[in-house]
Structures are given as C-alpha cells and as structure tokens.
C-alpha cells in the first residue's frame, strides 16, 4: 500500500518562492543591521566615553563597555563638580550654535523655497544659465571661501558675531535648498496652479495655498540638511569666531586640547550635547519626509 502525499506535505511553487523571498528578506535585513551598527559604532563609543569613569579613558587594552556609568564629565562641564570644573562656557556655545543654526535654516528655507518655485514655474531670459550659476556656487570648496569671507565680514564688522556666521551659512545652504525645492515643485502638476488662477488667485496666493503645503516634505528634507550643515560646520566657524560670545560647539571642542594633553572625556561629553538637539530636530521634522505629494490630486 503506497502513501499518497497530502497537500499539506507538498510545497507548491508559490510557497517555495514565498519561502525563498522570506529568507532573502531576512538576510538583507541582517546585512542592513550590521552595516548600521558599523556606522553607529563611533557615535556609540563617544557616548560610552562620556559616561565612563576617568580611569577607563586611556587604558590598554581599551574597555569597550563601561564597568559603571557616571555623570562626572557633565558635572565638570557645567561646573557642578566642586573638585573640578572645566572652565569652558558650554552654555554660550549652546546658545550660539542654536541661534546660528535656526537663523541660517530659516533664511535658507525662505529664500531657497521661493527661488526653487520661481525656477520651476516661470520661464525667463537666461533661465537655465542663471540656475546653473547658482548650482555652481556649491562647487566652490570651503577652503577657497575662507579668506574672502573673512575680509568681507571684517569690512562690515561681522567677524565674531552670531548673526554674521548665520548669514554665511544661509548663503551656503540656499543653492542646495533651491535645487531641492525646484525638484519638488516640478512634481506638483501645473494644472493645480492653473485652476487656482481661474478661480481668481494670483501667483502669491497659489504658491502659499496650493504649492507650498504640497511641498512640505521637500522643505523638511531641506531644513534637516541646512540645520545639520550649520550645526556641525567647523572650518568657516573657526575663521569667523574668536571668542565665546560667537563660538559654536564644533569650535568649542578645541578648548579641550592643550599642548600635551587632550581631555577626551570632556570632549565627548560636549559631543553628546551636540548630538541631542540635532536628533530632536530630525525627529520633529522627519515625519514630513514620508508624506505624499500630490497622489490623487489630478486624475490622468
């Protein structure tokens, strides 16, 4: 008597393909997780170093996971430790970095969004040439901008000022913002604007009520880029700021170095403070990145 295979014991081709697809997805997810952990390793090491005891900083072999966690580095940073204070004006650096990044991001988003809208909706003489010239300004390396910027800022008494540094960052971020927003506005059908014109809206009303709400995901992406670029920039800030009244966090990190020693724990503690506002800003904005633009707005 032969046993006939039942349907439950036989894998159909569809089930085999589904099993292989599931295995492949699992392997891809594991590979992505491994790559993510490798990229996150420096940030994890910085956080561990900020919270580890001083006795574990320069030991050999290195201690990967702290044996205990302590807030000594942060207490010293803010002057809460009576035995040791870093003497570094961290609150000044926090204020300067926040003001500089917010002002630069606001200006870059405002000007860049309107510029991108103008290039995406209107044709004028030398339209392409002007747009390419704006984009080419991003090709100039930061080293080449250092001396001209310093001379220009000194002429108008903007050296070692927060608003002067913010204007420089805004000018640097506007071309990228304009290019990004130009791409987003081009994805919005012009029929929406034409319908608004028929209903009596002007150019500004159509931009403010129709196009701008649909381009919020693009503004979120541009805002994240402009904010992080201003928050983490060191080269230009080191040239244009000299005192704590205008220094930002990246420049302030150099205060932990001396001729013969480096306070690694204090430096990593300030780095953790730098990471927190940037992460919070991205979390608040990133949900816009997943929103649709004009799905279903115009029927084909």
DSSP for 13-57, please give it: HHHHHHHHHHHHHHHHHHHHHHHHHHHHHHHHHHHHHHHS-GGGS
**Mean pLDDT, the chain, integer:** 83
Q: Exposed/middle/buried for 148, CB within 10 Å: 0-12, 13-18, 19+?
A: exposed
Q: Cα 229 vs. chain centroid, distance in angstroms?
A: 6
C-alpha to C-alpha distance for 100 and 163, rounded to whole angstroms: 7
pTM for this predicted structure: 0.80
Residue 298's pLDDT is 42
Share of the chain above pLDDT 90, in %: 27
The 10s digit of each residue's pLDDT in 83-136 is 666 678 888 999 999 999 999 999 999 999 999 999 988 888 888 889 888 888
200 phi/psi in degrees, rounded to 5: 105, 5
Residue 201's pLDDT is 84
Residue 230's pLDDT is 93
The whole-number average pLDDT for the span 20-42 is: 87
C-alpha to C-alpha distance for 263 and 247, rounded to whole angstroms: 19
Q: Where are the domains of the chain?
A: 7-70, 90-290
C-alpha to C-alpha distance for 241 and 123, rounded to whole angstroms: 41
Asked if residues 294 and 190 have their Cβ atoms less than 8 Å apart, the reply is no
User: At CB < 8 A and 24+ separation, what contacts does 82-89 make?
Assistant: 86/256, 86/263, 86/266, 88/252, 88/255, 88/256, 88/266, 88/270, 89/244, 89/252
Q: Which CATH architecture has domain 90-290?
A: Orthogonal Bundle (1.10)
Higher pLDDT, 80 or 113: 113
Ranges 181-190, 203-212, 276-285: which has the least confidence = 276-285
Residue 3's pLDDT is 54
pLDDT exceeds 60 at position 289: no
Residue 126's pLDDT is 86
* Rg, the chain, Cα only: 27
Handedness of CA 240, 244, 250, 252 (dihedral sign): positive
DSSP H helical segments within 122-253, as ranges?
127-136, 142-155, 162-187, 190-198, 203-206, 212-214, 216-232, 235-240, 249-252
The whole-number average pLDDT for the span 231-251 is: 91
Residue 82's pLDDT is 64
pLDDT band at residue 5 under the 50/70/90 scheme: low
Tell me the three state secondary structure of residue 262. strand
Residue 294's pLDDT is 38
The whole-number average pLDDT for the span 260-282 is: 84
Tell me the three state secondary structure of residue 172. helix
Lookup: tokens for 72: 């000594």
Residue 85's pLDDT is 60
């Amino acid at each position: 008597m032969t046993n006939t295979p039942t349907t439950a014991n036989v894998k159909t081709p569809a089930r085999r393909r589904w099993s292989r697809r599931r295995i492949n997805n699992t392997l891809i997810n594991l590979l992505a997780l491994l790559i993510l952990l490798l990229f996150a390793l420096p940030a994890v090491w910085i956080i561990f170093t900020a919270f580890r005891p001083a006795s574990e900083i320069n030991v050999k072999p290195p201690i990967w996971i702290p044996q205990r966690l302590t807030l000594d580095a942060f207490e010293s940073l803010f002057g809460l430790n009576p035995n040791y204070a870093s003497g570094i004006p961290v609150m000044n650096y926090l204020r300067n970095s926040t003001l500089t990044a917010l002002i630069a991001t606001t200006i870059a988003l405002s000007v860049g969004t309107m510029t991108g809208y103008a290039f995406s909706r209107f044709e004028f003489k030398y339209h392409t040439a002007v747009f390419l010239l704006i984009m080419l300004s991003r090709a100039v390396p930061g080293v080449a901008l250092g001396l001209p910027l310093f001379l220009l800022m000194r002429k108008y008494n903007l050296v070692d000022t927060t608003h002067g540094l913010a204007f420089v960052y805004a000018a640097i971020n506007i071309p990228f913002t304009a290019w990004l927003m130009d791409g987003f506005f081009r994805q919005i059908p012009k029929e929406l604007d034409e319908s608004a014109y028929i209903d009596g809206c002007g150019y500004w009303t159509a931009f403010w009520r129709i196009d701008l709400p649909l381009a919020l995901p693009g503004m979120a992406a541009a805002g994240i880029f402009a904010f992080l670029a201003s928050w983490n920039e060191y080269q230009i800030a080191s040239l244009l700021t000299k005192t704590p009244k205008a220094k930002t966090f990246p420049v302030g990190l150099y205060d932990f170095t001396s001729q013969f020693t480096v306070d690694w724990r204090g430096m990593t503690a300030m780095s953790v403070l730098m990471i927190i506002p940037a992460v919070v800003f991205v979390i608040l904005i990133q949900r816009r990145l997943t929103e649709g633009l004009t799905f279903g707005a115009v029927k084909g």
